[in-house]
């Protein structure tokens, strides 16, 4: 028999001659640990992360050196939004095995995403504050805080459960079910969510029984508590864990390695406190990187602004060239895209003058295109061209026709409000228009019909 603690072969009896450990007990512990690990793997694959956490926690309690189980335990914590607990397990795992350990990649990925860690920390702050607010009777404030928590951490199962419990207590079954379903999407057989779901189902059944029988219902009767096998299994596991933990605490069995792990866990708690206070090396480095990032972002914005101004100036110069060569439509298109506020006052005046010169050409061009398309029955395409003409034109002698055609198109499409607006503009803005009478008749018809 091989001693699981020091590797010595034990040929006689149960006690290892080197480390004086009970090899039979250690083998039993290892067997139970492996069984819990296999259960944890199964539950994790099924998406039942709560059950996986229970099994894997027992596994590493029996065998603290099982870094593979700690990695999976960390993943299970991460999946239900407990990022801090996940990071703790991965740090312990990495301390056991530095080379070719996936935990190193997991930790690095979290460190790169500092904003995500910050959000998860904010979520915990809101969650803890909500618990205090519930105790103080400020339920509405607590609910707001919990919803902020799940906004920061969309996988925060405990926060979703607390929201569900709130709505169960309020009797709002629909909203409670929404949050219960959200939990079960993340954690397939979450015990609390299933308990709330059972409560809702039980209330529905009682309500149905009362409505159908009309007798035999006593609202003061005590509720029967349904004990599920998962809960029984969990408590049984706790009893077994306690017994074996007591056995492992016997003199001569506890190793220096276990002490090292306990020390490391204390150090992790210390580092977490320092990180929260902003005094840890990581927090200070993160703050420095954040400041450098803000500086780079500001420089980038300045660069982008300078490039944008340069492009605007080039576009204006090109518009001047187009206009000088008689290509007024192309010039108008460029002018329309300019952000006039980015120019000096002198250039603003030059831009406005160039618009007055080129825009009528563009308006007439798009009007002719729109009229041709309208005559050909291409209503949708005609509408696009005519609206573009409207953007360039103002009081040109064809703008009343543009408005009238747009009114006709709107009326044809069933947009009576739009049609009224276009016809009214013809009447109000072009009193001597050749389509004044038609517009007036159209508007009166629409008003009289109540459309």
CA distances from 369 to 331, 366, 386 (A): 18, 5, 8
Q: Considering the chain, what is the average pLDDT of its residues? A: 80
Nearest partner of 401 among 372, 377, 358, 380, judged by Cα: 372
Distance from CA of residue 30 to its chain's centroid? 41
Which tens digits make up the pLDDT trace of 85-141? Answer: 998 999 998 888 878 899 998 888 888 887 888 888 889 999 999 999 999 989 889
Q: How many whole angstroms separate alpha carbon 72 and alpha carbon 205? A: 40
- The CB-side HSE value for 145 (13 A sphere, CA atoms) comes to 19
Residues in Cβ contact with 12 at an 8 Å cutoff, skipping those fewer than 6 apart: none
pLDDT in tens, 158-192: 999 999 999 998 889 999 999 999 999 999 999 99
> pLDDT at position 32, please?
85
Judge whether residue 342 has pLDDT over 50: yes
Query: Is the pLDDT at 241 greater than 50, yes or no?
Result: no
* pLDDT value for 253: 33
**Dihedral (C-alpha) 29, 30, 31, 34: value to the nearest 10 degrees?**
120
Determine the CATH number of domain 359-448. 1.25.40.10
Contacts of 354 (CB under 8 A, 6+ apart): 319, 320, 323, 331, 335
User: Residue 206: what pLDDT?
Assistant: 59
pLDDT of residue 143: 93
Any idea where the domains of the chain sit in the sequence?
359-448
Of 29, 430, 31, the C-alpha closest to 438 is 430
Q: For 234-255, what is the mean pLDDT?
A: 35
Helix 157-170 × helix 114-136 angle, to 10°: 30
């Amino acid at each position: 028999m091989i001693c699981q603690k020091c590797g010595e072969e034990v040929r006689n009896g149960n006690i290892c001659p080197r480390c004086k450990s009970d090899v039979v007990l250690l083998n039993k512990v290892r067997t139970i640990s492996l069984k819990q690990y296999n259960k944890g793997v199964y539950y994790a694959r099924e998406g039942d992360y709560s059950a996986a956490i229970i099994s894997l926690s027992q596994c590493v309690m029996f065998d603290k050196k099982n870094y593979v189980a700690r990695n999976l335990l960390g993943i299970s914590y991460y999946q239900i939004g407990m990022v801090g607990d996940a990071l703790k397990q991965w740090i312990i795992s990495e301390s056991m095995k530095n080379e070719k350990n996936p935990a190193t990649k997991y930790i690095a990925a979290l460190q790169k995403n500092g904003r995500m860690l910050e959000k998860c920390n904010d979520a915990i702050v809101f969650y803890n504050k909500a618990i205090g607010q519930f105790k103080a009777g400020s339920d509405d404030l607590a609910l707001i805080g919990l919803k902020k928590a799940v906004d920061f951490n969309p996988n925060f199962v405990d926060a979703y459960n607390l929201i569900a419990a709130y709505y169960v207590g309020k009797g709002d079954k629909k909203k409670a079910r929404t949050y219960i379903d959200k939990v079960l999407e993340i954690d397939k057989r979450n015990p609390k969510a299933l308990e709330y779901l059972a409560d809702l189902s039980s209330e529905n059944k009682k309500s149905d029984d009362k409505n159908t029988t009309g007798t035999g219902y006593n609202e003061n009767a005590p509720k029967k508590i349904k004990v599920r096998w998962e809960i029984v299994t969990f408590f049984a596991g706790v009893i077994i864990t306690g017994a074996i933990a007591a056995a492992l605490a016997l003199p001569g069995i506890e190793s220096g390695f276990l002490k090292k792990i306990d020390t490391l866990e204390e150090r992790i708690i210390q580092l977490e406190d320092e990180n929260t206070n902003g005094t840890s090396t990581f927090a200070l480095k993160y703050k420095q990187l954040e400041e450098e990032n803000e500086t780079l972002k500001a420089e980038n914005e300045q660069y982008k602004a300078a490039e944008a101004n340069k492009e605007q100036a080039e576009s204006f110069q090109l518009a001047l060239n187009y206009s000088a060569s008689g290509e007024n439509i192309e010039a108008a298109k460029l002018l329309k895209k300019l952000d006039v506020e980015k120019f000096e006052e002198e250039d603003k005046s030059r831009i406005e003058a160039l618009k007055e010169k080129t825009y009528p050409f563009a308006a007439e061009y798009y009007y002719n295109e729109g009229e041709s398309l309208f005559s050909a029955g291409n209503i949708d395409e005609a509408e696009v061209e005519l609206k573009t003409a409207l953007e360039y034109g103002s009081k040109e002698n064809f703008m009343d026709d543009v408005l009238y055609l747009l009114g006709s198109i709107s009326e044809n499409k069933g947009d009576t409000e739009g049609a009224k607006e276009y016809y009214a503009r013809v009447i109000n803005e072009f009193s001597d228009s050749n389509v004044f009478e038609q517009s007036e008749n159209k508007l009166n018809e629409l008003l009289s019909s109540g459309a």
